[in-house]
Amino acid sequence: MDLRGLSREEMTELVVSLGEPAYRARQIMAWIYRRGIADPGRMTDLPVPLRDRLALLACPCEAVLQRRQSADGTLKLLLACPDGVAFECVRLRYGYGYTACVSSQAGCAGGCAFCRSGEGGLERNLTAGEMVGQVLALNAAGGRPITRVVLMGGGEPLANYAEVLRFLRLATSSDGLGLSPRRITVSTSGVVPGIRRLAGEGLPVTLSVSLHAADDRLRDRLVPVNRRWPLAELLAACRDWARLTGRRVSAEYVLIGGVNDRPEDAARLARLARGTFGHINLIALNPVPGFPHPPPSREAVAAFARQLRRSGVPVTVRRPLGRDIDGACGQLRASSRQGPAAGATNQPPDPEAARPGG
Ligand code: SF4
């Protein structure tokens, strides 16, 4: 049992079933979410017999396998579960504070062309408790607490719908992480049924689509999920999301040199974005070993953004972060599967990481 994945009601049921008063649930959740301690043995205001019983029931938390700090301020952790599964999480430092980039799956079945999370396919879905654990691990690194969460780490969140929804409820509950739903972004490669389902959950989170191409031919190659739910279906779902939630969807577009960064790509993207996307985030590709295309030049990124703005599309150019610490999605996990990468360290400084896609 993972105590971090239990709602207040479930925690209450658990403590009552152990013969304890209901208020113990609040105490346990305060330890987990306010103090970042999920080990029952350290919950010192609980009676020792209860601590012992919980310790027998609760599964051990993940260990930090690697910890890397980028010169640009990105902190990236590789966490290992007791079953040997490993996954990444990243802390990004912005002017307003820290954002956690959380993985929803170990590995990914998405197979996006430039993403190392997909290498080796899907290992398994992560549980809500493991997603909570990533935020707690990043908070434990010190500094200001995490105030925003983006589900943009390894995996496709909407392919792990039930656990992601449970995580969102824990993240936004006042007994849990207590974050505003507006400070949580769910990023999808385009799982249309998941978008439609999430729109009806009454959770006003931000939805972001990893677009990366504005025509089906190119998107089929870059983001294979497009073969199942092509652009017309994806855009219709995004417009329905906006109608149902009152919030427009944003899109991530990783610029790849010579592939999707030409003026004709910008023109196509502008046509597609109008009326569907509230905002486009442009990110220059983080170099990915084995991916044959380079990042775009600075000039190409600036020209692409200019062209979109001239067409009336709101655009932000995001800095690629964490390049010196395998900052792109899945790189740290992939390099750990091949053995320790050069420069790996267990003694981190402090960073920010961005990933292309996801
Ligand atoms: S970009 Fe996202 S959906 Fe695509 S392979 Fe990577 S993690 Fe999976």
% of the chain at pLDDT higher than 70: 89
Q: pLDDT value at position 332?
A: 66
pTM of the model: 0.90
**What is the rounded CA–CA span in Å between residue 310 and residue 306?**
6
Token couple for 134 = 């990533």
Query: For the residues 246-252, what does the mean pLDDT come to?
Result: 95
List the CATH code of the domain at 63-337: 3.20.20.70
CA of 154 to the centre of ligand 1 (A): 7
Which of 117, 122, 151, 332 has most ligand 1 atoms within 8 Å of its beta carbon, as the pocket-test mutant? 117
Given CATH 3.40.50.300, say whether it is the number of domain 3-57: no
CA of 223 to the centre of ligand 1 (A): 8
**What is the rounded CA–CA span in Å between residue 123 and residue 117?**
10
CA of 115 to the centre of ligand 1 (A): 6
The residue among 89 and 59 whose pLDDT is bigger is 89
Indicate the pairing of strand 146-151 with strand 122-125. unpaired
Q: Read off the DSSP letter of residue 285.
A: P
**What is the rounded CA–CA span in Å between residue 320 and residue 71?**
12
CA of 43 to the centre of ligand 1 (A): 38
Nearest atom, ligand 1, residue 355 CA: 1
Give the torsion through C-alpha atoms of 125, 128, 134, 137, to 10 deg. -140
Indicate the pairing of strand 97-102 with strand 63-69. unpaired
Span between the terminal Cα atoms of the chain, in Å: 29
Nearest atom, ligand 1, residue 356 CA: 1
Please list every protein residue whose CB sits less than 6 Å from any atom of ligand 1. 108, 110-112, 115, 117-118, 154-156, 189, 210, 329, 357-358
The residue among 92 and 320 whose pLDDT is bigger is 92
- Nearest Cα neighbor of 135 from 197, 178, 190, 89 is 89
88 is catalytic: yes
Catalytic one of 112, 252, 329, 352: 329
Nearest atom, ligand 1, residue 154 CA: 7
Nearest atom, ligand 1, residue 155 CA: 7
Residues of the chain with CATH 3.20.20.70: 63-337
Catalytic one of 88, 119, 163, 352: 88
Q: If pLDDT is split at 50, 70 and 90, which confidence band does 326 have? A: low
**259 CB-near residues (< 8 Å, 6+ apart):** 218, 222, 293
**What is the rounded CA–CA span in Å between residue 183 and residue 149?**
6
Protein residue with least CA distance to atom 2, ligand 1 = 358
Residue range 23-54, pLDDT digits in tens: 999 999 999 999 999 999 999 999 999 999 99
pLDDT exceeds cutoff 50 at 342: no
Q: pLDDT value at position 304?
A: 98
CA of 121 to the centre of ligand 1 (A): 10
CA of 224 to the centre of ligand 1 (A): 10
Residue range 170-189, pLDDT digits in tens: 999 999 999 999 999 999 99
Q: If pLDDT is split at 50, 70 and 90, which confidence band does 340 have? A: very low
Query: CA-CA distances (angstroms) from residue 181 to 58, 105, 147, 153, 282?
Result: 28, 21, 11, 18, 23
Query: CA-CA distances (angstroms) from residue 163 to 99, 113, 127, 167?
Result: 20, 26, 6, 6
Protein residue with least CA distance to atom 1, ligand 1 = 358
Q: If pLDDT is split at 50, 70 and 90, which confidence band does 140 have? A: very high
Nearest atom, ligand 1, residue 118 CA: 5
